[in-house]
Amino acid sequence: MGMKSSVLLLAACLLLTACGADSGKGSAPAPSPEAQQEQSSPGQMEKEKELNMNVNQDAASKEQMQNPSEPNEMQEAEQQPADPAPPGSEIASIQPQYHMNSVYRIVPNEESVPANTVLLTFDDGPKDEALIHRMIDILDKHDAKAIFFVNGYRVKANPELLRLIHERGQIIGNHSWDHIDLKKESPEVVRQQIVDVQNIVEETIGEKPKFFRPPFGSGGDAVKAIVEENGMLYMTWSNGSLDWESKYKNKPEAIIQNVLDQLHPGSNILMHELPWTADALDGLLTELEQQGYHFVHPESIELTIR
């Protein structure tokens, strides 16, 4: 009897510890994608796939239990009230299932991983709290994660908006400090434009971006080398929504059509933090789902182009 109670208590403690272990921001560094290129195990991505697609795969039911922590950590977990785990800490457990090819499309690593996927990206923020909430509400409705490619000068003006995007579980990318054409700049300027954003993002949310997109898609080999130096995946896009063109201002239906016209498996969709893009977003994501696409989790993409 006493034995049984002890076992139950131990099990409860382990559960608490498992939750508590997630709550330390940055305590578990993301595993290196290169180290984990073998067949990845189903985790959160599998749940997303189930929600978003009709996949006839048998792996979904395999749930992995986390390894129980050290006994002395259990006591800590009991003493401290459990904080809700920040969204970033869940992401660290996602295994690479995709990579990016030389034309910036998302390609599955294995045949068993669905190819009908799109990467959602929003550039040029953070600008507006209400707009960010509106966009992330829609992403949440569709269980979608996107990369928000931010400019350093905007982060400096509105650090709380960067925190908002991060705390709502979306992914931050580096889009240079000043939104200038990096191809025209010296390596020293390029490095500063990139590193300063890495630093302000880290100071603000506790982690550096892993993805980089040059303003105007204008980079070249010199910029790519500096991006690589900083451990990021360089990308432009493969499907432009054209939401930045004045003729599509306030025309959400046309923006949806632009994306659908260019739709291909692995589409890397360029959008912006703009009100008419937010207006288009629910309709776009619904249509993509109806066409059998799901939304790739950015953290499931390897950080090296191949």
Residues designated catalytic:
123, 272
Tell me how far apart the alpha carbons of residues 306 and 114 are, in angstroms, rounded to a whole number: 18
Q: Toward Zn ion, which CB reaches closer, 25 or 156?
A: 156
Q: Mapped to the 3 state alphabet, what secondary structure does 211-273 carry?
A: EECCHHHCCCHHHHHHHHHCCCEECCCCEECCCCCHHHCCCHHHHHHHHHHCCCCCEEEEEEC
Q: Toward Zn ion, which CB reaches closer, 98 or 149?
A: 149
**Strand extents, DSSP E, the chain:** 98-100, 106-108, 117-125, 146-150, 171-174, 211-212, 233-234, 239-240, 267-272, 294-295, 301-305
Tell me how far apart the alpha carbons of residues 162 and 88 are, in angstroms, rounded to a whole number: 13
Tell me how far apart the alpha carbons of residues 286 and 281 are, in angstroms, rounded to a whole number: 8
> 27-51 burial, b if ≥16 CB within 10 A, otherwise e?
eeebeebeeeeeebebbbbbebbbe
Q: Which residues bind Zn ion (CB under 5 A)?
A: 123-124, 215
Q: Toward Zn ion, which CB reaches closer, 117 or 241?
A: 241
| Residue pointed to by tokens 């690589």 | 228
Q: Toward Zn ion, which CB reaches closer, 94 or 200?
A: 200
Please, what is the minimum distance in Å from the beta carbon of residue 221 to Zn ion?
20
Supply angle C-alpha 280, 134, 278, rounded to 5.
20
Please, what is the minimum distance in Å from the beta carbon of residue 93 to Zn ion?
31
CB closest to Zn ion, residue no: 123
Q: Toward Zn ion, which CB reaches closer, 23 or 276?
A: 276
Please, what is the minimum distance in Å from the beta carbon of residue 47 to Zn ion?
32
Please, what is the minimum distance in Å from the beta carbon of residue 233 to Zn ion?
17
Q: If we measure between CA atoms, which residue out of 117, 74, 124, 75 comes closest to residue 99?
A: 117
Please, what is the minimum distance in Å from the beta carbon of residue 77 to Zn ion?
43
The tokens describing 126, both together, are 């953070």
